[in-house]
Amino acid sequence: LTERAVQTATTTCPYCGVGCGVEASLLGAHLQSVKGDARHPANLGRLCVKGSALAETLTTSHRMLQPQIGAQAVLWEQALEAVATGLQQTIAQYGPDSVAFYLSGQLLTEDYYVANKLMKGFIGSANVDTNSRLCMASAVVGHKRAFGADAVPACYEDIELADLVVIVGSNLAWAHPILFQRLSAAKEAKGTRVVVIDPRHTDTAELADLHLAIAPGSDVWLYNGLCRHLLERGCIDAAFVAQSVDGFTELQGHLHHPQYELASVAVRTGLAMDVLQQFFAWVEHHPRTLTLFSQGVNQSSQGTDKVNAIINSHLLTGRIGKPGAAPFSVTGQPNAMGGREVGGLANQLAAHMDFASDDVDRVGRFWQAAQMARQPGLKAVELFEAVEQGQIKAIWIMATNPVVSLPQADRVKAALAKCPLVIVSDAVQDNDTLRLAHIRLPATSWAEKDGTVTNSERCISRQRGLIPGPGAARNDWWIITEVARRMGFAEAFDYQHPVDIFREHAALSGFENDGQRAFDISLLENISRTEYDQLQPVQWPLSQRHPRGMQRLFGNGQFYTVNGRARLLCVEGGEQRKGVPDHYPLLLNTGRIRDQWHTMTRTGYVPRLLQHRAEPFVAVHPQDLKRLKLQEGDLAEVASRDGSVIVRIREDGGQQPGQVFIPMHWNGVFSAQARVDTLVAARLDPFSGQPEFKLTQVRLQRF
Ligand code: SF4
């Protein structure tokens, strides 16, 4: 082995929505090490603990190496034939809506595109949803309601340019560590003020100049109170509002109600009036205010309204699309936005088109579709309810583990157990969902597959296939395409390489567009294979005027609504959810820990990533422990109306009394009784269908 044999290649990290660039060192077909890509705009050379351990996840010990039907290993030909025949027979007997796909923000954009095309354009159903529903569906609807399109106005550079950064519902330090590092560095360099709005005092709150330990779920009250303050103080960009924003008079009237007076907002949010006044004054006096929001906002039965309450504060002040000033949704998954671009959600079509317009015919014309879906399909939670009720009789789950990650996870498990045909494509040999599959398909994983992803700042980057997949593992786009061909759609799925799919995706984004659609990358529709291989990060939308894309949107006051104006929304604070005395007195919050990813199917196999938190736990305030006569290290049963888990107690003064926290990660392979989403009820946001993961009523007792 000589030093000269080592080669480097760039790709992107597959874990979170930051979408960091990675430089990998390769020795032949062996990936030796990784470091941050200094030229990637997301991370500028940094990597967090998870990203820096990527090379250690590439063992084959837990990988699925061969397709399986039941317990029998089979050849690909047999497996593909079984999938195609199973879907066809189900459709023939029960109709297109009796089948469903459930996808993942882990899929690359090209994988996502062909899955959607097959279901929506050729099977003729829109029953294709994704675990991104659990992540940012509320932000999508909030953006569409306010801007007319699901378009994020900001870019990461705004973190350095802002004078005030408000973080709402995010433990950025653990969930998006590189953005946190960028913020910490900016604070160090220029004294950026930081406000953290979160019921928990997390590592992120440690950085804050002001931590608002808000009552869980009261964000709309807080932001309505803020907007009222801004109106009263005349902190409004009157020219911007007059020229570019609808709904001002209605919002003014709405917020005039006494319930949004300071004293009332203080009661609703559980915050002291002087703390609120300080927050309001800081926002008032910082034109460069950036609001970063994430799952504490989105994963809520009021998530969409929370998003719009935040956006209202930016539209009123004209702080949008300007350096250091914007509302900024930070997504959870590496490709949550790429999935949105190709219509990965059941209520969307590809290239940000919708069912409620002539877009259905437009997409159908472009695809020369055999049978276009004409109505939105079932959203994630509803989709598994339809499996439970026997309406869906065949489901194909790709790269996700819903038996761990969906609310009422035991109900999902029972539904799949009685579903006549469950097909699962995954990279690993064993997880809770795979155990219920009739057909298992081995998929390639990070560093083995080629394609693109889009991160939280609309930046499209390449993930590159650097090493061969193990055993018989194949790329997801190839698996879907081969099934489509066997179902009789060979002509429409004649792809030889991901670049063929990317070109089609890019062409569709500009098809009959006339510059009216937010998502447009049609400049890349004739990209060559070499150009695709060498593609550098680029931020959509692309145009002749902005061939390298745009960092910020809406700074010119032009939005994607029909009249080109943004919309203020009159959103209500709503009732506060509390514990139920004597039965379920505590409120459970769930979320990420620093070193684990999703249901641990990758990171759970890396010993050093288990050093930070080695086992599932419940974080409890010392006062609650004293009251319950429990202590750190005890095993506890946490129970809700929907289920129970057994976890270790961690004493945590960062919790508020009456509130507990359990990480979302542990699956049934690593810990038989710690699947926290067995506790979580299926309470959905009425607009986005995103479930509430932050407010479950539970009780806690010694196990
Ligand atoms: Fe990967 Fe996210 Fe860490 Fe970046 S911040 S290295 S994308 S996990």
Question: Residue 21 maps to which CATH number?
Answer: 3.30.200.210
Evaluate whether residue 552 is within a structural domain. no
- 556 belongs to a structural domain: no
- Rounded distance from Cα 182 to ligand 1 centre (Å): 12
Residue among 30, 56, 35 at smallest CA distance from 45: 35
Tell which residue, 452, 450, 453, 449, has the closest CA to residue 470. Answer: 449
Close Cβ partners of 340 (under 8 Å, ≥ 6 residues apart): 132, 136, 140, 150, 348, 352
pLDDT at 333: 84
With a 6 Å cutoff on the Cβ, whether 340 touches ligand 1 is: no
**Residue 648 scores a pLDDT above 60:** yes
DSSP 8-state code for residue 118: I
Pocket test of ligand 1: the residue of 178, 335, 337, 598 to mutate, having most ligand atoms within 8 Å of its CB, is 178
Among 12, 18, 184, residue to substitute to test ligand 1 (most atoms within 8 Å of Cβ): 18
Whether 367 and 301 share a structural domain:
no
The confidence score (pLDDT) of residue 206 equals 98
In a domain, 593, yes or no: yes
Report CA 572 to chain centroid distance, whole Å: 25
Distance 64 CA to ligand 1 centre (A): 25
Q: What percent of the chain has pLDDT over 70?
A: 99
**Model-level pTM greater than 0.90?**
yes
Ligand 1, atom nearest to 455 Cα: 7
Q: Which of helix, strand or coil describes residue 311?
A: helix
178 CB within 6 A, ligand 1: yes
Same domain, yes or no: 317 and 345 = no
Band the pLDDT of 1: cuts 50, 70, 90. Answer: very low
Q: Whose CA is nearest to atom 2 of ligand 1?
A: 16
Q: Can you name the residues that pair with 101 across neighbouring β-strands?
A: 128, 396
Q: Which atom of ligand 1 is nearest to the CA of 36?
A: 6
Say whether pLDDT at 2 is over 80.
Answer: no
The DSSP secondary structure of 367-382, one letter per residue, reads HT-SS---S----HHH
Q: Which helix (H) or strand (E) holds 222?
A: helix 219-232
Of the candidates 13, 32, 57, which is a domain's last residue?
57
What atom in ligand 1 is closest to the CA of residue 42?
Answer: 4
Q: Is 22 in the pocket of ligand 1 (CB under 6 A)?
A: no
Over the stretch 516-562, which tens digit does the pLDDT of each residue have? 889 999 999 999 999 999 999 999 999 999 998 999 999 999 999 99
- On whether both 45 and 154 belong to a single domain, the answer is no
User: What is the domain-level CATH number for residue 162?
Assistant: 3.40.228.10
Q: What's CA 73's distance to the chain center, in Å?
A: 34
Mean local confidence (pLDDT), 457-475: 96
* pLDDT value, residue 668: 86
| CB of residue 378 inside a 6 A radius of ligand 1 | no
Per-residue pLDDT, 334: 84
Please classify residue 562 by burial: count the beta carbons closer than 10 Å to its beta carbon, then call 0-12 exposed, 13-18 middle and 19+ buried: exposed
Q: Is 51 in the pocket of ligand 1 (CB under 6 A)?
A: yes
Are 125 and 252 within one domain? no
- Please tell me the residue having the least CA distance from ligand 1 atom 4: 20
Three-state DSSP state, 34: strand
Q: Are residues 485 and 500 in the same domain?
A: yes
Instruction: Please indicate, yes or no, if residue 576 is contained in any of the structural domains.
Output: no
The contacts of residue 688 (CB under 8 Å, 6+ apart) are: 133, 137, 138, 140, 141, 298, 303, 304
Q: Is 83 helix (H, G, I), strand (E, B) or coil?
A: helix
Residues 411 and 498 in one domain: yes
Please name the residues in contact with 375: beta carbons below 8 A apart, sequence gap of 6 or more.
126, 355
What whole-number distance in Å separates Cα of residue 344 and Cα of residue 212? 35
For residues 322 and 345, state if they share a domain: no
Domain membership flag for residue 63: no
Instruction: Quote the ligand 1 centre to 179 CA distance (angstroms).
Output: 9
Domain boundary among the residues 57, 83, 102 is at 57
Look at the alpha carbons of 662, 295, 195, 456 in this order and tell me if their dihedral is positive or negative: positive
Give domain status of residue 577, yes or no: no
Do residues 397 and 468 share a domain?
Answer: yes
Q: How far is the CA of 547 from the centre of ligand 1 (A)?
A: 27
pLDDT at 29: 87
Q: How far is the CA of 111 from the centre of ligand 1 (A)?
A: 21
- For the chain, how big is the Rg over CA atoms in Å? 24
Q: Would you say the CB of residue 17 lies under 6 angstroms from ligand 1?
A: no
Query: Cα(210)–Cα(350) distance, rounded to whole angstroms?
Result: 41
Amino acid occupying residue 225: G
Task: Report whether pLDDT(128) > 70.
Answer: yes
Q: Is residue 550 part of a domain?
A: no
Distance 492 CA to ligand 1 centre (A): 36
Q: Both 411 and 429 in a single domain? A: yes
Q: Check residue 58 and give its pLDDT.
A: 86
pLDDT-derived band at 4 (thresholds 50, 70, 90) equals low
CATH assignment at residue 523: 3.40.50.740
CB atoms under 10 Å from CB of 234, counted, come to 8
How many domains does the structure of the chain reveal?
Answer: 4
Q: Are residues 23 and 163 in the same domain?
A: no
Residue of 48, 453, 609 to test ligand 1 pocket, by largest number of atoms within 8 Å of CB: 48
Other residues' Cβ atoms within 10 Å of the Cβ of residue 75? 11
Task: Answer whether residue 230 is part of any domain.
Answer: yes
- Residue 492 sits in the same domain as residue 617: no
Cβ of 333 below 6 Å from ligand 1: no
Same domain flag for 119 and 184:
no
pLDDT of res. 139? 97
Strand partners, 700: 638
C-alpha angle with apex 261: 255 to 263, nearest 5 degrees?
155
* CA dist., res. 600 & res. 674, Å (int): 13
Residue 305 has pLDDT above 70, yes or no: yes
Mean pLDDT over all residues of the chain? 96
Closest-lying ligand 1 atom to the alpha carbon of residue 43? 4
The parent domain of residue 418 ranges over 68-134+335-511+519-539
